[in-house]
Amino acid sequence: MRPFRIQSWAAAVLLAGACTLAGPAAPAAPNRAALDYVALGDSYSAGVGAGNYLPEGASCLRSSRAYPALWAAAHASSFAFAACNGARTGDVLTKQLGALSGRTDLVSVTVGGSDASWAKVMGICALPGTTACLNAIDTARAYVDKTLSGNLDRLYSAIRAKAPSARVVVLGYPHFYRLHGACARGLEDKERAALNAAIDHLDGVIARHATGHGFSFADARSAFEGHEICSAGPWLRSIEVLDLTESYHPNTSGQSLGYLPLFSRAA
């Protein structure tokens, strides 16, 4: 699928009125340096959960409120929005890297959560039964250790080969739950703690491989601290019975107040 592209050219030079005895025309405003930015990855980069989805590539659920779109609108001269809902490392490798080139200056990517089948894990944990939830989490962690590491290395190597001069920022995933928080119903704290610990494990693997390839790792756990599900002001959606796809994804605030500042500091 061809990525959604946005071009924003430098503003036209403005001149003062005709020269008068009072002095010459005002100097031209400086042009912004060209910046070619490509956003890769899964639903967390596409903006699932933030709404206002773009019509092109509708199945990918790319949101104009996602942090890549917000950042590009303010900073990029060229923007390729390739991130897609449900993308795994193999999908990014085979379907999204066409947006990269030797001209690419900046790349962002979130990937790994779909590989570990987090949507399936959360579906199991949303049902009654602590044992089934904990078993599903253990299965996901085993996949991260046995398979995801190699997949990340292949993807990161391919990104560098396609965009040899680009700064690459790999963003992690936030904790889902604030423990002992305001939620009166739902998962037990034992399950919530196990999910958060699994996120720690996943982010640790992603960070190790990202930095090993010379990329920057941006830790979303610190960015979302105090705004997890069950906090007073959550930046993540809880279970959405009427739209399961949006469950456990950053809401509008999570994108604009969580991921956007995090990425801005690393870009």
Active-site residue list? 43, 249
CB 85 within 8 A of CB 43: yes
d(CA 241, CA 185): 15
Alpha-carbon separation of residue 90 from 41, 87, 119, 207, 245 (angstroms):
10, 8, 17, 18, 20
Burial label for 148, CB within 10 Å (0-12, 13-18, 19+), is buried
Q: Provide the sign of the torsion angle of the four alpha carbons 152, 154, 155, 161, taken in this order.
A: positive
Alpha-carbon separation of residue 73 from 97, 176, 178 (angstroms):
21, 28, 32
| Nearest alpha carbon to residue 137 among 187, 208, 85 | 187
The residue with tokens 């992603």 is 206
Alpha-carbon separation of residue 155 from 79, 96, 187 (angstroms):
21, 11, 34
d(CA 238, CA 225): 16
Q: Rg of the chain's alpha carbons, rounded to an integer?
A: 21
